[in-house]
Chains A and B, each alone.
Chain A
């Protein structure tokens, strides 16, 4: 059985329902760091292709579905294409109500092992024990910065200048966090291991349920070497917080001169009906297959690589 069939089997066997979502929507993900691919429709006007199936899937959770997965295409209008980023790629996203991110990590590992087995991969860092690293601990270990989640923006400026990290006066708290992360954390992820980074500071996980204490939130990412494979949360189901997040994102899009799409009111309406906890994970299938098969580029595992469709990139 091949990869996509194994993924479907893995979930259906566990009681999940495969769902389809509309790819063409009026309100795509409003995250300013994502660029939805705009489509002008003769009948409707401005619309876009989804960057992830998240909104539709959360609506289904709000309507009472409990275990759902999507395996299909999503689109992002990347500025450049490279070994790990292309504009059309295969996303696996799944949600299960009643479990949190701890159980979700176990589920993710079982899935990765099932795919590896189907591909007859016998040696790979993803098959070994995954290194578990709390973000707070890693910042101490690699950068000597303690209590990262409690630090003010000014304190992060001071830490950055102590470490010789370039900053800009316009930097937000999240920008500074990410500069430190790019400087000392990501480049030092072990090439020979798989690592799970978890418990991100709240501003880096605004859609995840806060951890006890309220400084960090229940988000994890899985890396194979330095390649990010998935991004998972115990989902936040607070519509008030979600609305203020959407509005902040809209303001940021306007400031950056990016297209602004209407807020998805139906999602905000249904969000309070999503049970707590609910676990959600979005995993890049092309990247998973590429790393398991030892490729150095997503192109290596595609039957129709973009460089053939669009010419030599």
Chain B
């Protein structure tokens, strides 16, 4: 038995008879009283996503999961293939299981794969990933006057990010993968 406080992305929970993998979680606390862990989890059979709020003091049943550091190799559009850099072993995950994180993938990206019962179930991204800006059109005059201090930029892997208006093509930036937000410019 485990505590909701130990939930991580990729944790596999047995809940109401089914197995669910945690997609994202956030601690929330009211002004007074118990704190909760807001948990989005995906059914590993059906792919259905639900959100549950677990109280910190509850007990949950976690399944044993091993976490492997792997590198993203390629995709055929339906499955995504990763490789263990030490053993060269490859695993595949279907698109449905990892939809939320796919936009962040780029060749060679190091991720953490949750393995349960011989099956790869989830991909945890690094908290921040570096990308090169492929296209960041100059800000339009008047943007800042209307309260806009950001503009949309496209990264070299196709990811779209709101960036500060001073960011230019070819610059490298860090993106926060939990929020999808621009984090900082990388100075070379």
Contacts and interface: CB of A to CB of B under 8 A. Distances in A.
A179 interface: yes
Chain B: interface residue count, which band?
A: 20 to 34
Contacts of B26: 82
A175 interface: yes
Contacts of B55: 168, 170-171, 175
Contacts of A82: 26, 178
Contact of B179 (A166, A181, A296): A296
B86 interface: no
Contacts of B128: 312
Interface in B1-56: 5, 26-36, 38, 52-55
A183 B108 CA distance: 39
A293 interface: yes
B14 to A, nearest CB: 14
Contact of A124 (B38, B147, B179): B147
Main secondary structure, interface of A, reads loop
Contacts of A33: 29-35
Contact of A79 (B5, B54, B149, B150): B5
Contacts, number: 80
A181 B38 CA distance: 12
A146 interface: no
B102 interface: no
Nearest to B56: A256
B185 to A, nearest CB: 13
Contacts of A221: 31
Given A123-B147, A204-B30, A178 B36 contact: yes
Interface residues of A, number: 37
A206 B32 contact: yes
Contacts of A178: 30, 33-34, 36
A123 B146 contact: yes
A158 interface: no
Contact of B53 (A122, A182, A294, A312): A182
A83 interface: yes
Residue from B30, B52, B181 with most neighbouring chain A CB atoms (10 Å): B30
Interface of B: 5, 26-36, 38, 52-55, 57-58, 127-128, 145-150, 176, 178-179, 181
29 contacts: A33-B31, A33-B33, A33-B34, A79-B27, A82-B26, A82-B178, A83-B178, A83-B179, A122-B145, A122-B146, A123-B147, A165-B53, A166-B53, A170-B57, A171-B55, A175-B55, A178-B34, A181-B30, A182-B36, A182-B38, A182-B53, A183-B53, A204-B32, A204-B33, A231-B31, A293-B149, A296-B181, A297-B179, A313-B127
